[in-house]
Structure 1
Amino acid sequence: MSYQFEFQKLLAIKEREKDKVLVDYNESVKHFETLAEKLYSYLKRKEELEEKKVSKLSTGLKIQDIRHQQQFIINLEKTIAHYQKLVMESRQKMQQFQAILLEKNIEVKKFEKMKEKRLQAFVADLSYQESKLMDEISIQQFMGKGN
């Protein structure tokens, strides 16, 4: 007599849902990391340009070059603002997937715990039945020897 968990199909469905959310979460993490790296590179580039600007201003620079560099920095700031917004949205999406993943993990753990408890109860019942059968056999043997 083997044990069959009555909610095995449901457990399998919950595990597949959890795996799908895990894949989505991992994709959102990669997307977040990619955007964060781009934002970092733009911020670093802006910082380097401002340092160059300061050093060139001390040595002397044409007004046209100053305007050109300032316009480039302004455009870079717009790009940085855009990437900051994308990073924030990506972080929120990643956190939403993380919350869903946590919920799915909890659901799967509940079913696994239920399966474990029911298996223990099944084993205990099987042991009880076996013990009862052994008692019955020994009583029959004793009664057989008595006659």
Structure 2
Amino acid sequence: MGYHFKFEKIMSVKEREKNEALSAYNDSVKRFEEVAEKLYELLKKKEDLESYQSMKLVSGLPVLEIRHHQQFIVNLQKSIEQYQKMVQNARNHMLFQQEKLMHKNIEVKKFVKMKEKGLHEFLEEVKHVEAKQMDDISIQHFVHRGS
């Protein structure tokens, strides 16, 4: 006679949901990192370009080239703003997935606790039944010896 948890199927469904939530969270973290990395690259490119332009201004730079650099910086700034929004959206999505994962994890832990409690009660009952059987055997043994 073994222990059977009455909510085993529900618990397995909850564990599967938790694993799916973990996968979604990991995907959202990966997406956030990709977008943040691209934003970093754009910011670095803009900084390098501005540094190069400052250096060239000291030694002299044609007006046409200055305009070209400024237009490029303006376009970079637009891309940076777009990626900042994307990073914020990716961060929000990641935080949502994290919250969802925490909720699923709590659900699974509740079922694990219920299973542990049920197993403990089952083992206590088995111990109690075995003790009662031992008492009955002892009494029968004593009665047969005494006669």
Aligned mates of 1:75, 1:123 — CA distance in 2: 71
Aligned mates of 2:44, 2:138 — CA distance in 1: 85
What's the RMSD between the two structures over aligned residues?
A: 0.5
1:61-100 CA-to-partner distances (Å, cap 9, x unmatched) read 1111000000000000000000000000000000000000
Per the alignment, residue 123 of structure 1 pairs with: 123
TM-score of the superposed pair, with normalisation by structure 1? 0.99
TM superposition shift of 1:144: 1.1
TM superposition shift of 1:141: 1.1
Number of residue pairs the alignment of both structures matches: 147
TM-score of the superposed pair, with normalisation by structure 2? 0.99
Per the alignment, residue 92 of structure 2 pairs with: 92
Aligned positions of 1:101-116 closer than 5 A: 101-116=101-116
Aligned positions of 1:11-26 closer than 5 A: 11-26=11-26
TM superposition shift of 1:145: 1.4
Please, which runs of 5 or more residues in structure 1 have no aligned partner?
none
Aligned mates of 1:66, 1:105 — CA distance in 2: 57
Per the alignment, residue 56 of structure 2 pairs with: 56
Aligned mates of 2:41, 2:111 — CA distance in 1: 46
TM superposition shift of 1:39: 0.3
Aligned mates of 1:73, 1:14 — CA distance in 2: 51
Please, which runs of 5 or more residues in structure 2 have no aligned partner?
none
Aligned positions of 1:15-94 closer than 5 A: 15-94=15-94
Runs of 4 or more above 6 Å deviation: none
Aligned mates of 2:85, 2:78 — CA distance in 1: 11
SS of 1:61's partner is: coil
Aligned mates of 1:41, 1:131 — CA distance in 2: 72
Query: Alignment identity in percent?
Result: 52
SS of 2:31's partner is: helix
TM superposition shift of 1:52: 0.6
